[in-house]
Structure 1
Amino acid sequence: MAKSYFFLFVLFILHPVRGQNEDCADSFQCGGHGPAIRFPFRLKDHHPDHCSFPGFNLSCSDTHDTVLELPISVKVFVKKIDYKSQEIQVYHPDRCLPREIRRFNLSSSPFEFKGVDHFLYDYAFFNCSHNKGEEQSHQHVISCLNDPTYSHQVYALRTDVNVNKLPTLPCRKMYSVRSIPYYIVYNLDDILYLNWSRPACGNCELKGMNCRYMNTNSSSTKSEIQCFPKHNKGSSTKLVTTGAILGPTLLLLLAFALYRVYSHDKAEKEYRKKIENFLDDYRSYKPTRYLYADLKRITNQFTEKLGEGAYGTVFRGKLSNEIHVAVKILNSSKGNGEEFINEVGIMGRIHHVNVVRLVGFCADGFRRALVYEFFSNYSLEKFIFSENSKSHFLGWERLHDISLGVAKGIEYLHQGCDQRILHFDIKPHNVLLDQNFIPKISDFGLAKLCSKDQSAVSMTTGRGTMGYIAPEVFSRNFGTVSYKADVYSFGMLLLEIVGGRRSTDIMSENASQVYFPEWIYNLLEQKVELRVFIEDDGDMKIAKKLAIVGLRCIQWHPMDRPSMKLVVQMLEGEGDKLIMPPNPFASPGPTRIHARKPMTHLGQELDVIQELD
């Protein structure tokens, strides 16, 4: 092992020292042919991240074509890059540029159209029926969009041209596009000409030199560039004799540092590849993919911070004056990309009034982020755990409606999707409230998918937040892990709504405390008021119903808990008909547990059993 470290170190000190910007000057071609790729362009998985401006990322297809992805996921092949004139020529993979014309929006792209006459026009597209045997040639026809059976043809007219130019056939207007070169519309030579103004590297190219960032700090704005020679063979090198004078200890330390850098870089590339492979399979009509530069613009350079957790920081953003969003920047040092894939993969496929909508996501290099709807009332936690909870009290009818909405959302996750979705982190903090206090379940980073006929879920590590985790997640002594784990977490949420405190909080500073749900159970059994904010019998009925349903949901054994469908029925029904569940806290001996008798918290004396796949 030590010899291998020494070999890596020797390679390092013999290798010429190069600046990070010089790496950007290395050209690369997909499959050994096609246009040369170098700064300001970057080939993914070949050039470092700092070698390109936003929007200048290229990739290689399976057929070794060079691929450029324009905004709104329009992928085109690159035919030629002219670095001197700063022009790039692209074409559609199917040789039909008009097919993507509605999605050609270069407002957020570094490129702009370059037409033959440099003029852009507005066009309207029409679908016209066609009689067999009639002449098919027409100066406004878009042949590559026609129906293969010639039952109809597509025509394009400039909006300032009279519609009488269309053939005398039944025609229907399909859509309009703005500011498009005419040669794209009529697919004249199937080549789209684009140019860029920044970075202005054309002068360097004319001098026979390369272009690079003047400031090598990757976190800078990268607004300044400079020219440097294409080949600098006089780069300084370190001699092998330098290593000979180093002591063995220093040598091993340097080798270990190299190994750590290599391991981290390899792991990061694997994470990126895993996420990119997932996103390649994630197609039509899904949440929008944003660049990191877009998120900086949306959040006004991340000025308004809403909160921070273990997996990232949330900022307030604005897509327009009417649409506000919450942008969660994921912490790259946490996890291996599983949370990101869970959120995008699961939330992108579900639509329910009680589940938060994922507006978009960002996977730009090592930066990953999620964009959600923004809710002005924040989370349920704010209203039930506030220090001055009376001033924030929502009223029992609204708390009942919120509880019912959350239950319906969980029921949808369990039964309403093609695959059952287990959330594993139901708690007040993950229940967001919109302006009408409609609850929305959020944060699917710990969720798992399973088939509806699967009775148990394989787990190697615990998932969830302490105080809300079902006993079987800790130990198999209580049964197998299933969708009933979410039922348990929901039950704890109901009891916290009733008690107005966290399940992990103690009732006083005294150490002789009972388990929080047991305190609720004993109050019900002794017919003591559950909460100080109960003003009439109607409120008492609601509080008692929520408490009884919550106690049914937190039975220690999963088979004793109701399904979420039955929970919804109980919450929608009359509370008077609900029966108190068995006491899950009764000790095995004859002694009865009273509300003030000391008792340890759940989980403190349980032997954790390692779960197997």
Structure 2
Amino acid sequence: MAPSSSSSSLHAHSTSMIFMFAAVFLNLFHLSEGKTCAPSSCGHIRNISYPFRLNTDPKHCGDERFTLFCENNNATVLHFNSGKYNVRSINYTALTIRVSDVGVREDDCSSFPISPLSGRYEYLTDTMVLVSCPIPLNSPSFIDTSPCFSSGNYSYLAPARKTGLGDLQVGCSIVKSVLVPAGRNYTSYEEIHQDLFSGFELYWDRAAAPAHYVYMCEIYHFLRINHGSCRQVDARKVRAVVIQILYTLKGSGLDIIYLICLLQAAKASIGAPFMIALLIYTWRRRHLSAYDKVEDFLKNHNNLMPIRYSYSEIKKMTGGFKEMLGKGGFGAVYKGKLRSGHFAAVKMLLNSKGNGEDFISEVATIERIHHVNVVQLIGFCVEGCKRALVYEFMPNGSLDKYLLSQEGLTSTMSWEEMFRISVGVARGIQYLHQGCDMQILHFDIKPHNILLDENFTPKVSDFGLARLYSKANNTIATLTAARGTIGYMAPELFYKNIGRVSYKADVYSFGMLVLDMAGKRNKLNISTNDSSQYFPEWVYNQVSEGRNGEIGGTTEEENKIAKKMVMVGLWCIEMNPCNRPSMNKVVDMLNGDVDGLQLPPRAVSEPIEAWVNDETDMSFDYSTESTSLISNFK
């Protein structure tokens, strides 16, 4: 009986230690939870209370990061990732909120999600492509979507990873893509659409710090603010606290899964003190290794132009990290002030990769760049596990803020401003490809990563995904994982049969950016008259049939600008990378006469991705997330 008693005592001691951690976390991070406000209601969502709030509630009610919007007094909407999601239900007992993309309607099987979401791990979601063909296909991989997408052709959905161009008949085109839960064996389109309409649940953790407040469970998308999958998270406080500790240690998703399993074994065998010591040892070993790697890099690049700051200087520069400009997968961006009196944007890499690859990539890339259309790196900080990048401050924020008005209907910029910005971005990318001794591929061109200075001069930013390559080798043989943001990511990055990855991937992203600007300038970003028709296909038809007024402005000059942007964009998003122009050619096309431009050939060259409304710092990103240096992030 003695061993049993000893084991029970040890287990009780282990459990009490963990619950002590729970009490500490709860006390530290939820002092504000005692605020009481009357519950709000909107439509069928009743008793909206802490941490949620309606935008019309008093400011002291709820948490502003959990603000919901009541539209037309009957729809509760979550604004997220520059997209909108209908709130289906809120369960305060289970700590979950179920939401679905506003683009998916139950009574319209042709409706697709408008906004891409975030997911770090490819095993959580699968990509399916919508294929349009003039003749029927007889492959079991293709799921018939008729009559939902009836445009005179046969339409099918197929898994992108299992579908090659060789499987398509002549005249077939890939017109849209959508993310679905990984591992599902769908037999009908009705099942897929029901999953899309059902949406997904987000889980918030009472034991989480404010900066790590929402953890989410994947249903049809995996969404995150921090690394890791909450599919391993139990609702019990014990495991929630352990998850929080691991998040604080900046563990990767696989690290978290491994350490949770380790925890369960440790609790039953060697006790909580040894388990905690093991966690500390694991954390120190990983971060010392990362620190050594970064230091080796800096020693080998001791001629770097940017200034190296100490952490105390960074803290003083930001006033103790007082004013946050934005946050994302890398961490947070704060407004700072240099000794010269100029403002700066300080990017704290709170979730830096295990070996410091994101820091090394960004510093190694951007220290080579000096161009009016590329954001300038002023300095950096490496001190233990603390890393920061100091950039020039962009007072007008990022481009995505100007693509949508307050009502979310149309861009607030004129056609002339849009065109000037598109030319500036093209010149910035042209410089990255040809202006340096090494070719720089960005891999994440999108509105959120285009910053605007006081004169609205565009600057390409966020080089966390960028890679350097020799100009003599335009094809990348070493890229093993898809990089970028769904909606702007070139199809060859995840659809291997299309072609090899090269600088043409940035050309594709730029084309989607230009079409995004043109569409949102004229209220065409969400849908067309035929909701089953892909926007680039629709705009191609308008231009080819001479209906330029549908896409242009109110004057002849605006119509010419709109037509030029659309035609350049269509060339850039050609399915075959070989058919896309170089950025040198793109700049020439933008600066040339619109009458000298021709539409690209129409064949199996439709872009792969659906027209989407991207992005803040949480866009779907196969490799990592972006943090933009914006001045008034909300």
TM bin (shorter chain):
0.5 to 0.7
Q: How does 1:543-582 map to 2 (within 5 A)?
A: 543-582=562-601
Aligned mate of 2:295, from 261, 265, 276: 276
Q: How does 1:463-478 map to 2 (within 5 A)?
A: 463-478=483-498
Distance 1:505 1:334 in 2: 35
Aligned mate of 1:454, from 473, 480, 484: 473
> Percent same amino acid among aligned pairs?
47
Q: Answer yes or no: is the 8 Å Cα contact 1:467–1:504 preserved in 2.
A: no
RMSD: 3.3
State yes or no: 1:405 paired with 2:424.
yes
What amino acid maps onto 1:342 in structure 2? Answer: S
Q: CA deviation at 1:364?
A: 1.2
Distance 1:511 1:478 in 2: 28
What amino acid maps onto 1:418 in structure 2? Answer: D
Change in 2 beyond 3 A, CA 1:483/1:298: same
Structure with bigger gyration radius: 1
Q: Answer yes or no: is the 8 Å Cα contact 1:492–1:503 preserved in 2.
A: no
1:144 equivalent in structure 2: none
SS of aligned partner of 1:500: helix
Distance 2:338 2:466 in 1: 28
Q: CA deviation at 1:405?
A: 1.1
Change in 2 beyond 3 A, CA 1:492/1:530: farther
State yes or no: 1:301 paired with 2:320.
yes
Q: CA deviation at 1:344?
A: 1.1
Q: Answer yes or no: is the 8 Å Cα contact 1:496–1:502 preserved in 2.
A: no
Change in 2 beyond 3 A, CA 1:341/1:586: closer
Distance 1:418 1:247 in 2: 53
Distance 2:506 2:463 in 1: 12
Change in 2 beyond 3 A, CA 1:562/1:505: same
Distance 2:550 2:273 in 1: 63
1:67-109 deviations in Å (ceiling 9; x for gaps): xxxxxxxxxxxxxxxxxxxxxxxxxxxxxxxxxxxxxxxxxxx
Aligned mate of 2:517, from 497, 504, 524: 497
1:164 equivalent in structure 2: none
Aligned mate of 2:447, from 428, 434, 449: 428
Gaps of 5+ in 2: 1-9, 11-264, 613-634
1:122-179 deviations in Å (ceiling 9; x for gaps): xxxxxxxxxxxxxxxxxxxxxxxxxxxxxxxxxxxxxxxxxxxxxxxxxxxxxxxxxx
1:510-542 deviations in Å (ceiling 9; x for gaps): 994333322322332343456677120100001
Distance 1:506 1:538 in 2: 25
SS of aligned partner of 2:269: helix
Q: CA deviation at 1:455?
A: 2.9
Distance 1:377 1:489 in 2: 22
- Structure 2 length as normaliser, TM-score? 0.51
1:296-342 deviations in Å (ceiling 9; x for gaps): 11111111111111111111111147411011111236553111111
Greater fraction helix:
2
SS of aligned partner of 2:270: helix
2:251 equivalent in structure 1: none
Change in 2 beyond 3 A, CA 1:530/1:298: farther
Q: Answer yes or no: is the 8 Å Cα contact 1:402–1:439 preserved in 2.
A: yes
Distance 2:471 2:266 in 1: 62
Aligned mate of 1:341, from 338, 357, 360: 360
- Give the length in aligned residue pairs: 350
Distance 2:550 2:339 in 1: 43
Q: How does 1:242-257 map to 2 (within 5 A)?
A: 249-251=268-270
Q: Answer yes or no: is the 8 Å Cα contact 1:332–1:367 preserved in 2.
A: no
Change in 2 beyond 3 A, CA 1:579/1:300: same
What amino acid maps onto 1:419 in structure 2? Answer: M
Distance 1:576 1:383 in 2: 29
Q: CA deviation at 1:285?
A: 5.6
1:262-297 deviations in Å (ceiling 9; x for gaps): 332211111000001111122236101111111111
Which structure would you say has the larger RCO, counting Cα contacts within 8 Å and 6 or more residues apart? 2
Gaps of 5+ in 1: 1-8, 10-245, 588-592, 594-598, 604-613
What amino acid maps onto 1:470 in structure 2? Answer: A
Distance 1:544 1:250 in 2: 70
Change in 2 beyond 3 A, CA 1:263/1:327: same
Q: CA deviation at 1:401?
A: 1.5
